[in-house]
């Protein structure tokens, strides 16, 4: 018997049919992938299952029994646990409080020592004993926050575990730990539903895959009957020929030079330079200081030492505004908090560039050109949304990421710092983003790209700098840009597990 069977599920948001008559079923003891392009309806379907969204029509059965799930509490009581694509932690509370939050409300007095002890045990079982249950969530890296989310979901009886892009914020090492845990749960008979845009993970982890397209079910397949190409084709309806499109950029003079950069506790000594037309990758583990280095260069974080030189002139960006005036752009890692303004329309977000090319010297804004430009990028990036006037908060995760990127494509920056530019983006749109990055490099921009996806570093970068513990561990060039070399530098000799 199926552990979960959903049939005839529909969900509308205003005029948008997010789901129309969707059927989906999965068994206990399997990892079942749910795939599809950005905006296909994956998260919405799982929010219906968890009770976060109500649905119109259809039914949900768990172990054959009709389940009435109209609130997250009802979902939880029936054994549905979900890790949302967007974090749902209370960031001002401690790790232990978050993990065991569902118990806190029921008690008159809380034994904190016991609470911390139990949280520590759960973290330990997951292989993350280095997270202190007493630390405040907002002090953790995004990857560790994700680990806490998963722990929270596993802290109560769970029959169906939904993971909505759990590895988007994890690097290989943490991903392996997570997979070990998922396999363990699968072997214990849990039904795991796994959403990801990383095809390798699907083949690595999942028994079956169900594909959604435009809010409808395309079908379900055994993973071992598919390969990369056929899976891609089923999702986006075409083959992707050149996954990493060719770039014909002329590599010119040094645009950005960073020397002995120090910032906070995460960046202790970083030096590198990047030339016009060049794409420099930065690899490393979570916590290596990559994000923090970019932020300090840009001016979003304080710099404690070292120099930043632009076109031969030393600059000191003390604020993000100064970075922008010096024609540096930063696509932040944390899209939801720093990358987009959720309550504003897509168009305003896309045009929120410090140097709006559509404002003439007289201050007159050419709104028609603005619309055209946004429309052009919309098509290039395969954005899925109701209109340019739709608020960003109504977009799917991957489409929000595309909007965050848009404004840096409108602004003409000399140096573009991209922190995980294709995180959460579907495989078709990834290629479009690579294409746009190539165009920018061809126009003479210097590009620095932090990525946790090996294949992206290998496929896109002229050089790859690997960071470890706030320092540069080494730089790879040409044929030396290989997975094993990146891993070796990222983990260090003393640290290889």
Residues that bind ligand ATP (CB under 6 A): 13, 16, 18, 36, 38-44, 85, 384-385, 394-399, 426
Taking the complex as a whole, how short is the minimal distance between the CB of residue 397 and Mg ion, in angstroms?
Answer: 4
Taking the complex as a whole, how short is the minimal distance between the CB of residue 421 and ligand ATP, in angstroms?
Answer: 15
Q: Which residues of 64-89 are buried (b: 16+ CB within 10 A; e: fewer)?
A: eeebebeebeebbebbbbbbbbebeb
Give the nearer residue to ligand ATP in terms of CB position, either 254 or 390: 390
CB count within 10 Å of CB 289 equals: 26
Which residue has tokens 């770039």?
Answer: 247
Q: Does 388 bind Mg ion (CB under 5 A)?
A: no
Q: Does 345 bind Mg ion (CB under 5 A)?
A: no
If DSSP codes are grouped into helix, strand and coil, which group holds residue 206? coil
Q: Does 43 bind Mg ion (CB under 5 A)?
A: yes
Give the nearer residue to Mg ion in terms of CB position, either 39 or 281: 39
Q: What residue 329 binds from Mg ion, ligand ATP, none (CB within 5 to 8 A, per partner kind)?
A: none
Q: Does 167 bind Mg ion (CB under 5 A)?
A: no
> How are beta strands 80-83 and 4-13 bridged, if at all?
unpaired
HSE-up of 99 (CA within 13 Å, CB side)? 31
Q: Which residue is nearest to Mg ion (CB)?
A: 43
Q: What residue 384 binds from ligand ATP, Mg ion, none (CB within 5 to 8 A, per partner kind)?
A: ligand ATP
282 vs 486: CA distance, rounded Å = 10
Q: Where are the beta strands (DSSP E) in 40-123?
A: 59-62, 65-67, 80-83
Give the nearer residue to ligand ATP in terms of CB position, either 152 or 384: 384
Give the nearer residue to ligand ATP in terms of CB position, either 188 or 387: 387
Taking the complex as a whole, how short is the minimal distance between the CB of residue 209 and Mg ion, in angstroms?
Answer: 16
Helix (H) or strand (E) holding 163: strand 160-164
If DSSP codes are grouped into helix, strand and coil, which group holds residue 459? helix
Q: Considering only residues 55-94, where is the footprint of Mg ion by CB under 5 A? A: 85
Calculate the dihedral angle through the C-alpha atoms of 107, 108, 114, 119, rounding to the nearest 10 degrees: 40
CB count within 10 Å of CB 180 equals: 12
Give the nearer residue to ligand ATP in terms of CB position, either 13 or 112: 13
Among the candidate windows 37-45, 139-147, 240-248, 465-473, which touches Mg ion by CB under 5 A?
37-45
Beta bridge partners of 262: 305
Give the nearer residue to ligand ATP in terms of CB position, either 221 or 358: 221
Taking the complex as a whole, how short is the minimal distance between the CB of residue 221 and Mg ion, in angstroms?
Answer: 20
Q: How many residues bind Mg ion (CB under 5 A)?
A: 4
Beta bridge partners of 256: 274, 310
Give the nearer residue to Mg ion in terms of CB position, either 287 or 397: 397
Q: What residue 38 binds from Mg ion, ligand ATP, none (CB within 5 to 8 A, per partner kind)?
A: ligand ATP
Angle at the Cα of 136 from the Cα atoms of 293 and 340, rounded to 5 degrees: 50
Q: Does 39 bind Mg ion (CB under 5 A)?
A: no
Residue ranges binding Mg ion (CB under 5 A): 43, 85, 396-397
């Amino acid at each position: 018997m199926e552990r979960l069977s959903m049939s005839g599920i529909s969900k509308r948001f205003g005029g948008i049919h997010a789901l129309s008559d969707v059927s989906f079923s999965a068994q206990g003891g399997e990892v079942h992938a749910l795939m599809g392009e950005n905006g296909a309806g994956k998260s919405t379907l799982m929010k219906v299952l968890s009770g976060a969204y109500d649905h119109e029509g259809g039914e949900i059965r768990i172990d054959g029994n009709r389940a009435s799930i109209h609130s997250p509490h009802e979902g939880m009581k029936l054994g549905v646990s979900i890790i949302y694509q967007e974090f749902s932690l209370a960031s001002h509370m401690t790790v232990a409080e978050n993990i065991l939050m569902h118990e806190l409300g029921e008690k008159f007095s809380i034994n904190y020592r016991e609470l911390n002890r139990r949280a520590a045990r759960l973290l330990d079982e997951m292989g993350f004993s280095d997270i202190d249950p007493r630390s405040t969530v907002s002090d953790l890296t995004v990857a560790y926050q994700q680990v806490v989310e998963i722990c929270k979901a596993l802290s109560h009886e769970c029959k169906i575990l939904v993971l909505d892009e759990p590895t988007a914020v994890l690097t290989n090492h943490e991903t392996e730990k997570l997979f070990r845990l998922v396999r363990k749960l699968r072997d214990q008979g849990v039904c795991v539903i796994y959403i990801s845009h990383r095809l390798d993970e699907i083949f690595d982890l999942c028994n079956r895959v169900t594909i959604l397209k435009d809010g409808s079910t395309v079908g379900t397949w055994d993973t071992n009957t598919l390969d990369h190409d056929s899976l891609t084709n089923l999702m986006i309806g075409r083959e992707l020929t050149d996954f990493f499109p060719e770039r014909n950029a002329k590599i010119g003079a040094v645009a950005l030079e960073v020397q002995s950069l120090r910032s906070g506790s995460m960046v202790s000594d970083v030096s590198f330079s990047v030339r016009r037309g060049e794409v420099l990758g930065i690899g490393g583990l979570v916590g290596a200081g990559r994000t923090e280095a970019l932020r300090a260069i840009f001016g979003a974080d304080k710099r404690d030492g070292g120099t930043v030189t632009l076109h031969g002139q030393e600059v000191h960006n003390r604020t993000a505004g100064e970075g922008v005036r010096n024609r540096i752009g930063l696509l932040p890692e944390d899209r939801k908090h720093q990358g987009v303004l959720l309550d504003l329309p897509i168009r305003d977000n896309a045009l929120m560039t410090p140097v709006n090319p559509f404002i003439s010297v007289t201050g007159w804004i050419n709104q028609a050109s603005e619309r055209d430009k946004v429309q052009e990028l919309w098509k290039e990036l395969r954005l899925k949304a109701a209109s340019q006037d739709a608020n960003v908060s109504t977009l799917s995760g991957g489409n929000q990421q595309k909007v965050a990127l848009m404004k840096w494509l409108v602004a003409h920056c000399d140096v573009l710092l991209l922190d995980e530019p294709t995180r959460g983006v579907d495989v078709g749109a990834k290629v479009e983003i690579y294409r746009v990055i190539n165009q920018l490099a061809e126009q003479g921009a210097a590009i620095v790209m932090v990525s946790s996806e090996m294949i992206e570093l290998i496929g896109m970068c002229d050089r790859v700098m690997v960071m470890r513990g706030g320092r540069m561990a080494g730089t790879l060039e040409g044929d030396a840009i290989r997975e094993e070399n990146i891993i070796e530098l990222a983990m260090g000799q003393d640290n290889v597990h």
